[in-house]
Amino acid sequence: MNSRQIRQSLILLLTAVIWGVAFVAQSVGMDYVGPFTFICARSLIGGLVLLPCITLLDRLNGQQKKSTDRKKLLLGGICCGLALCTASCFQQFGILYTSVGKAGFLTAFYIIIVPILGLFFGKKCGPFVWIGVLLALAGLYFLCMTESLRLGNGDILVFICACLFSVHILVIDYFTQYVDGVKMSCIQFFVCAAVSGAAMLIFERPEPAQLLAAWKPVLYAGVLSSGAGYTLQIVGQKDMNPTVASLILSLESVVSVLAGMLFLNQHLSSRELFGCVLMFAAIILAQLPQKEKKE
């Protein structure tokens, strides 16, 4: 593994940490506002946060983009925004009707959906990556599942969310070859905010007082989870195998458990610790094919 791949992996690991802690913000925020309102608010904040970042980066690097890039940039932002919005909506509604543990386990199914879908686009994986995927799934089961695996309506919604997040990862993998990742991330947030905002006005009745009451979780989800997290995902995924990227991102489930232990005084059982060990082993194992291909 070269220095660039190590840097990309660390960026994705930081993304997983931000998203893992964000589960707390999502849960608390839903106590005050509806799913569409929460998604719209966090996406709008995420897009606004990136505007000054883009201006600063343009001044530092110089604006030397071809006119053809703008079309792909807009198309990439729209595709990513639609995938992100639909996935987030299914996740938010699914959490309302299922437990957090089952939601975390089912959402992380994208780690096996991504390589399967990637086969249709010529994204082949080595045997160590596939073994890593199976190890990670086993780890997620021990980490998240503390009850019987019976599928209800909420579980089905979350599983659909996992499929849509898989599409989101593959769309990012395609467009980051051609366009600026930060700008595409900014566009995807405004697209997500527009679509969820329209649904908010149709199906929900948001009030300013409710948003003000939920300002802490909304601000965290908007600035860090959306603005920083999804942008880091786009930047970190560039030139990375999407399956390996999805494995690293799935560590958000481990981080969410650790965050509960640190911030909510929750304790890890031996079963959960075993699940964490399996997931870390899966991440390390998935990196090995990259080194072999270089040699």
Look up the domain containing 35 and give its range.
Answer: 3-294
Per-residue confidence (pLDDT) for residue 292, from 0 to 100: 45
State how far the Cα of 225 lies from the Cα of 197, in Å rounded to an integer: 19
What is the model's pLDDT at position 260? 65
Q: Hey, CA dihedral for 117, 118, 121, 122, is it positive or negative?
A: negative
Backbone angles phi, psi at 231, to 5 degrees: -70, -45
Contact 142, 282 (CB under 8 A): no
- Alpha carbons 60 and 54: distance in angstroms, whole number: 10
Residue 291 pLDDT grade (very low, low, confident, very high; cuts 50, 70, 90) = very low
More confident residue, 139 or 169: 169
Buried b (16+ CB within 10 A) or exposed e, 245-272: bbbbbbbbbbbbbbbbeeeeeeeeeeeb
Give mean pLDDT, residues 82-107: 81
Give CA angle at 14 (30, 133), nearest 5°: 90
pLDDT at 188: 94
The per-residue pLDDT for 67 is 41
CA-CA distances (angstroms) from residue 79 to 3, 73, 75, 164, 192? 30, 10, 6, 12, 10
| CA gyration radius, the chain | 19
With bands split at pLDDT 50, 70 and 90, how would you rate the model's confidence at 53?
confident
* Count: domains in the chain: 1
pLDDT attached to residue 145? 64
The pLDDT of residue 154 is 79
Residue 26 CA to residue 35 CA, distance in Å, equals: 9
Identify the DSSP state of 152: -
